[in-house]
Structure 1
């Protein structure tokens, strides 16, 4: 599906990065994995510049999710979470869009979270940051459609990945009971299942989607 496409994947060593690199390469892409921190305001532009021509940008951003009660959320927690998940997005877009607009071709996929789609206790900071990502995609996506650039997001939860569902969590009987209770599938969505869907969204047949947020949650939905 991605034969010959040059694809930059950020935080390639975290969240969905490793499996995205593997699956995209299997589909014929030339994968450019970046593991550089994007916290510094100049880092996104530097990463894009070093990658050269980019057909597809996968904004894969992750940070350990705080589990603080709303009344106890500090300014530092809020600032640090948004600095990791939200602030890099416009910087990445500003860096990569000129070349895509010039070619009138490009694809950007944000790997987000469904925590923004359903209220979750003790997740106000993380959910707010993930929600900001999705709102940004929806707005910029419809704006860039006129340039033949497709911007979309995957909003996922209960998807197998080493950042949010490491092996020790998955082995916990209480977590296994939670899966049976909250997820219709009764299991995590497989990492490759998610990555194959991401590959499709980055492919030419998916060019009709702009500014869309696609939940991938094993049947777990917003309410």
Structure 2
């Protein structure tokens, strides 16, 4: 009799992916499934304060939350940043995090383990002009992950973040940008790797951070940006 049970390093894991139709969502879902996970792909708008609790309640037991959070990055000069821009960016990138962890904690504590992986941005690790709102929100994600990671580690709940930039994805680097010769010149000038990090390269690293093999990481920020932060 053949064994049709899932195989791979994530076999038996139930992983919730937010904004699964945007940013890194589609490739994350594909790679996580390939590695044996049961993926709960949420397409809900999570800026509503009640939505994270509803998503978690409907999903059932969750081993890992992959907080795939993205918005088009504002490029407003700092003196022109509006109250709406600031609040809307934080509402999309930061506010859902404590709501999700509060919804997930009872179940993770009952099962004795859990993981949260935030798909963040390296824009908080290196200054960028006309990016004050976006960089501030991405930096808040990092600070939250570091603090919560340290707090929850004794309960066998790992919280970490991938700080990415220059990773192939349709939200920030759609085909029309990638095909622009000026962008290709920028890649060669700013990114030591000389190219975008592949979407699957990034997703495979995310899958590793969702696996039992990564249980030693606590509140850590992992740059995935082709060396951009080192320039």
Which of the five TM-score ranges fits, normalised by the shorter chain? over 0.9
Secondary structure of 1:28's counterpart equals coil
User: Greater Rg, structure 1 or structure 2?
Assistant: 2
Counting only pairs closer than 5 Å after superposition, residues 181-192 of structure 1 correspond to structure 2 as 181-192=189-200
Within the alignment, does 1:177 sit opposite 2:153 as a pair? no
Match of 2:53 among 22, 45, 48: 45
Residues 51-91 of structure 1 deviation map (CA, whole Å, 9 limit, x = unaligned):
01001100001100000000000001000000000000000
Match of 2:27 among 7, 11, 19: 19
Within the alignment, does 1:83 sit opposite 2:55 as a pair? no
Question: Residue 163 of structure 1: CA displacement?
Answer: 0.4
Question: Which residue number corresponds to residue 209 of structure 1?
Answer: 217
TM-score, normalization: structure 2? 0.95
Q: Quote the Cα distance in structure 2 between the aligned partners of 1:193 and 1:16.
A: 11
Question: Which residue number corresponds to residue 226 of structure 2?
Answer: 218
Runs in 1 of length 4+ with deviation above 2 angstroms? Answer: none
Question: Which residue number corresponds to residue 159 of structure 1?
Answer: 167
Question: Residue 98 of structure 1: CA displacement?
Answer: 1.0
Residues 121-169 of structure 1 deviation map (CA, whole Å, 9 limit, x = unaligned):
0000000000000100000001000100111000000000010000101
Question: Residue 222 of structure 1: CA displacement?
Answer: 5.1
- Check whether the contact 1:117–1:222 (CA below 8 A) recurs between aligned residues: no
Q: Quote the Cα distance in structure 1 between the aligned partners of 2:84 and 2:30.
A: 35
Question: Which residue number corresponds to residue 141 of structure 1?
Answer: 149
Q: Quote the Cα distance in structure 1 between the aligned partners of 2:111 and 2:38.
A: 19
Q: Quote the Cα distance in structure 2 between the aligned partners of 1:45 and 1:222.
A: 39
Question: Residue 101 of structure 1: CA displacement?
Answer: 1.3
Secondary structure of 1:12's counterpart equals coil
Q: Quote the Cα distance in structure 1 between the aligned partners of 2:54 and 2:230.
A: 37
Question: Where do 5+ consecutive residues of structure 2 fail to align?
Answer: 1-8
Q: Quote the Cα distance in structure 2 between the aligned partners of 1:107 and 1:22.
A: 19
TM-score, normalization: structure 1? 0.99
- Check whether the contact 1:115–1:127 (CA below 8 A) recurs between aligned residues: yes
Question: Residue 213 of structure 1: CA displacement?
Answer: 0.3
Give me the CA root mean square deviation.
Answer: 0.7
Question: Which residue number corresponds to residue 122 of structure 2?
Answer: 114
Within the alignment, does 1:31 sit opposite 2:39 as a pair? yes
Within the alignment, does 1:69 sit opposite 2:53 as a pair? no
Q: Quote the Cα distance in structure 1 between the aligned partners of 2:54 and 2:85.
A: 26
Question: Where do 5+ consecutive residues of structure 1 fail to align?
Answer: none
Secondary structure of 2:168's counterpart equals coil
Question: Residue 219 of structure 1: CA displacement?
Answer: 1.1
Secondary structure of 1:221's counterpart equals helix
Q: Quote the Cα distance in structure 2 between the aligned partners of 1:133 and 1:101.
A: 23
Cα–Cα, structure 1 residues 97 and 222, in superposed 2: closer, same or farther, change >3 Å? farther
